[in-house]
């Protein structure tokens, strides 16, 4: 690949002055020192007696101490959910259920600013994203599924729809509140009750959601929020009192869950890893495609299962695209997640940062040409410079494996067939991107790529109406839209 960086024509994006800090104030944020488990409508101390810390990944300060649910706590939560299911939620007129869900959505909107700030403090994502994407989308999911509550018969024409029972849900740390919304909203709309476990590094917005659910006067036990790590999740998945498992997380854990559930009658949906191909054809609008590449891989520090982490550029425009990409990367502002100008925030945890560093080493050792931006990183906290690898191939580990960080690998291709073949040559199939000004090419390529979501001339667009989910090792089942409702209902003939 051409390594063109003519000195005399380098653009200067740093040095003279920078935007003055514009941090979002956190003075009004109220966090408890210690959070219990939200079971049966109230916060209670864990039977396990254990707590763990949730830290701010941007400065490693302690935000709160959070209960770790043991097997006994999981049992209490499932029992509460079962009782609420049988006594109130499944018996309630559907329209009433819808009202509660609408109320949750409205309360989330009212507290949007607070939720956005906590999301950024707990997870490290830029406030621009939590404010403009995570929180509004989370509320939108509740609004959308609230509408389905009393219209289930339209979801399954000719049949009668009913709930499954208790849903056990496990969500990841990359979009904590949004993933909670994706899980809870369709479950409640269909008449199920919920036991949900947020990720151990990002439990705080889920606990704030517990407050909202309490304030919305939801009947006790309809939503139970239990915090903990892998063992808590395992206890939940294995509990005989749940009828449905919904998991979003790594493919590794997803496979374990699938094995656990084999032979049981529990239904499940899995939304797992990804390694999306983002394909730039020579007839693309190049400057806008570069923007799409940037959004595809550096959104949320690359902690996105549908991140466009494998870039394929057609050879005639490869040198130009890479040069533009490097210039654009230089303008990314990395730093304080609460600063309104921050483009790339903190890596979610020390463990994740270590994993990313491991992959950077692998990439270099495999002969990849690594480029990182020249930005300064804060001295405390977990940070990774936006990174790009050229001189990599399909067999490189950084091309094959999900890094879940701000690391983009770049390969070139010559023909449409080659792009399709390489895009599909991976165990994952969650998402993809295609960039060309030619409409017919969009249809040809997108119909042949085996991925659940493919964006054309854009990337990372989400809407509650649109189903999301994977092919192959990226999972099974869909979330969002009508497709996302179906895994939470069973149907009967009329």
Partner 1 sequence: MSRMYSPTMPSVYIDQVGVEERVSRLNKRSIKKSSKRSMLNLAMSMLDLTTLEAKDTPGKVRQLCTKAMHPHDLPTIPAVAAVCVYPNLVRTARECLRGSKVKVAAVATAFPSGMSSRKVKLEETRWAVNEGADEIDMVISRGHFLSGEFRYVSDEIAAVKEACGDAHLKVILETGELSTLDNVRLASDLAMYAGADFIKTSTGKVQPAATQPVTLVMLEAIRDFYYDTGKKIGMKPAGGIATAKQALAYLVMVKETLGFDWLTPELFRFGASSLANDILMQLIKEETGVYQSLDYFSKD
Q: Which stretch binds partner 1 (CB under 8 A): 14-22, 58-66, 181-189, 218-226?
A: 14-22
Interface size with partner 1, residues (CB under 8 A): 33
**Of 347, 376, 329, 345, nearest to 23 (Cα)?**
345
Site for partner 1 in 47-106 (CB under 8 A): none
Q: What is the CA radius of gyration of the chain?
A: 23
Smallest distance, partner 1 to C-beta of residue 9, A: 5
> Rounded to an integer, what distance in angstroms lies between the CA atom of residue 47 and that of residue 70?
7
Contact between 25 and partner 1 by CB under 8 A: the answer reads: no
Q: For this structure, is 305 an active site residue?
A: yes
Smallest distance, partner 1 to C-beta of residue 403, A: 24
Smallest distance, partner 1 to C-beta of residue 11, A: 4
| Backbone CA torsion sign across 144, 150, 156, 161 | positive
| Backbone CA torsion sign across 472, 478, 483, 487 | positive
Look at phi and psi of residue 127 and say left if phi exceeds 0, alpha if psi is from -120 to 50, else beta.
Answer: alpha
Helix runs in 283-392, H state only: 286-298, 315-330, 350-365
> Rounded to an integer, what distance in angstroms lies between the CA atom of residue 131 and that of residue 407?
24
Compare residues 45 and 287 and give the one whose CB is closer to partner 1.
287
Compare residues 259 and 461 and give the one whose CB is closer to partner 1.
461
Helices 112-123 and 135-148, packing angle to 10 deg: 120
Smallest distance, partner 1 to C-beta of residue 196, A: 32
Kind and range of the H or E element at 256?
helix 251-261
Contact between 6 and partner 1 by CB under 8 A: the answer reads: yes
**273 class by beta-carbon count within 10 Å (0-12 exposed, 13-18 middle, 19+ buried):** buried
Site for partner 1 in 99-128 (CB under 8 A): 128
Site string for partner 1, 317-356 (x = CB under 8 A): ---x--x-------x--------xx---------------
Q: Contacting partner 1 (CB under 8 A), which of 9, 25, 379, 395?
A: 9
Contact between 160 and partner 1 by CB under 8 A: the answer reads: no
Smallest distance, partner 1 to C-beta of residue 56, A: 21
Smallest distance, partner 1 to C-beta of residue 335, A: 13
Kind and range of the H or E element at 53?
strand 51-55
> Rounded to an integer, what distance in angstroms lies between the CA atom of residue 438 and that of residue 88?
54
Q: Contacting partner 1 (CB under 8 A), which of 2, 3, 5, 21?
A: 21
Contact between 20 and partner 1 by CB under 8 A: the answer reads: yes
Compare residues 87 and 438 and give the one whose CB is closer to partner 1.
438
Compare residues 66 and 289 and give the one whose CB is closer to partner 1.
289
3-state secondary structure of 24: coil
Say what the alpha-carbon torsion angle 293, 297, 301, 305 is, to the nearest 10 degrees: 150
Smallest distance, partner 1 to C-beta of residue 167, A: 36
Site for partner 1 in 404-463 (CB under 8 A): 437, 457-458
Looking at 68, 119, 129, 305, which residue is catalytic? Answer: 305
> Rounded to an integer, what distance in angstroms lies between the CA atom of residue 74 and that of residue 172?
18
Compare residues 18 and 265 and give the one whose CB is closer to partner 1.
18
3-state secondary structure of 19: coil
Smallest distance, partner 1 to C-beta of residue 191, A: 39
User: Within 10 A of 211 (CB to CB), how many other CB atoms are there?
Assistant: 15
Structure tokens at 71: 């097997």
> Rounded to an integer, what distance in angstroms lies between the CA atom of residue 66 and that of residue 266?
29
Smallest distance, partner 1 to C-beta of residue 388, A: 18
**Of 97, 157, 121, nearest to 29 (Cα)?**
121
Compare residues 19 and 492 and give the one whose CB is closer to partner 1.
19
Looking at 24, 119, 129, 271, which residue is catalytic? Answer: 271
Structure tokens at 74: 């999981």
- The secondary structure of 375-438 as a DSSP string is ----SSS-----EEEES--TTSHHHHS---SSEEEEEEESSHHHHHHHHHSSSEESEEEEE-S-
Site for partner 1 in 263-322 (CB under 8 A): 283-289, 291-292, 320
Compare residues 341 and 400 and give the one whose CB is closer to partner 1.
341
Give catalytic residues, as residue numbers.
271, 305
Binding site for partner 1 (CB under 8 A): 6, 8-9, 11-13, 15-22, 128, 132, 283-289, 291-292, 320, 323, 331, 340-341, 437, 457-458
């Amino acid at each position: 690949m051409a390594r063109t960086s003519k000195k005399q024509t380098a653009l200067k994006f740093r040095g003279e002055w920078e935007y003055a800090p514009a941090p979002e104030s956190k003075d009004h944020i109220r966090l408890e020192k210690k959070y219990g488990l939200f079971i049966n409508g109230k916060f209670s101390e864990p039977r396990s007696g254990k707590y763990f810390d949730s830290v701010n990944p941007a400065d490693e300060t302690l935000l709160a101490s959070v209960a770790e649910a043991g097997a006994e706590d999981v049992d209490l939560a499932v029992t509460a959910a079962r009782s609420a299911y049988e006594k109130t939620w499944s018996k309630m007129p559907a329209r009433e259920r819808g009202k509660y869900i609408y109320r949750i959505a409205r309360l989330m909107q009212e507290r949007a600013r607070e939720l956005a700030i906590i999301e950024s403090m707990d997870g490290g994502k830029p406030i621009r994203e939590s404010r403009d994407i995570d929180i509004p989308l989370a509320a939108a999911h509740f609004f959308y599924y609230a509408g389905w509550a009393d219209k289930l018969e339209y979801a399954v024409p000719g049949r009668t729809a009913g709930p499954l029972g208790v849903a056990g849900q496990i969500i990841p740390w990359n979009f904590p509140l949004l993933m909670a919304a994706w899980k809870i909203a369709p479950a409640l709309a269909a008449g199920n009750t919920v036991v949900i476990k947020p990720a151990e590094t990002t439990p705080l917005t889920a606990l704030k959601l517990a407050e909202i659910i309490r304030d919305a006067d939801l009947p006790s036990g309809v939503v139970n929020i239990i915090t903990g790590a892998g063992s808590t999740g395992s206890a939940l998945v294995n509990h005989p009192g749940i009828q449905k498992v919904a998991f979003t997380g790594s493919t590794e854990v997803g496979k374990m869950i699938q094995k656990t559930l084999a032979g049981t009658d529990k239904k499940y949906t899995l939304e797992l890893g990804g390694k999306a191909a983002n394909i730039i054809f020579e007839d693309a609008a190049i400057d806008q495609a570069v923007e799409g590449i940037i959004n595809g891989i550096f959104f949320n520090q690359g902690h996105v299962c549908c991140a466009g982490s494998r870039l394929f550029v057609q050879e005639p425009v490869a040198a130009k695209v890479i040069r533009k990409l490097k210039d654009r990367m230089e303008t990314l502002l990395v730093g304080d997640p609460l600063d309104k100008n921050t483009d790339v925030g903190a890596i979610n945890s020390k463990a994740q940062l270590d994993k990313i560093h491991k992959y950077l080493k692998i990439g270099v050792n495999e002969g990849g040409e690594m480029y990182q931006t020249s930005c300064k990183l804060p001295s405390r906290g977990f940070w990774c410079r936006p990174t790009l690898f050229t001189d990599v191939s399909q067999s490189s580990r950084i091309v094959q494996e999900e890094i879940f960080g701000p690391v983009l690998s770049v390969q070139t291709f010559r023909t449409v067939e080659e792009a399709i073949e390489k895009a599909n040559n991976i165990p994952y199939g969650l998402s993809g991107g295609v960039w060309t000004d030619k409409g017919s090419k969009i249809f040809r390529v997108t119909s042949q790529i085996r991925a659940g979501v493919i964006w054309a001339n854009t990337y990372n667009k989400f809407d509650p109406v649109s189903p999301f989910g994977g092919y192959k090792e990226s999972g099974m089942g869909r979330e969002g839209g009508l497709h996302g409702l179906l895994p939470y209902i069973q149907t009967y003939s009329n």
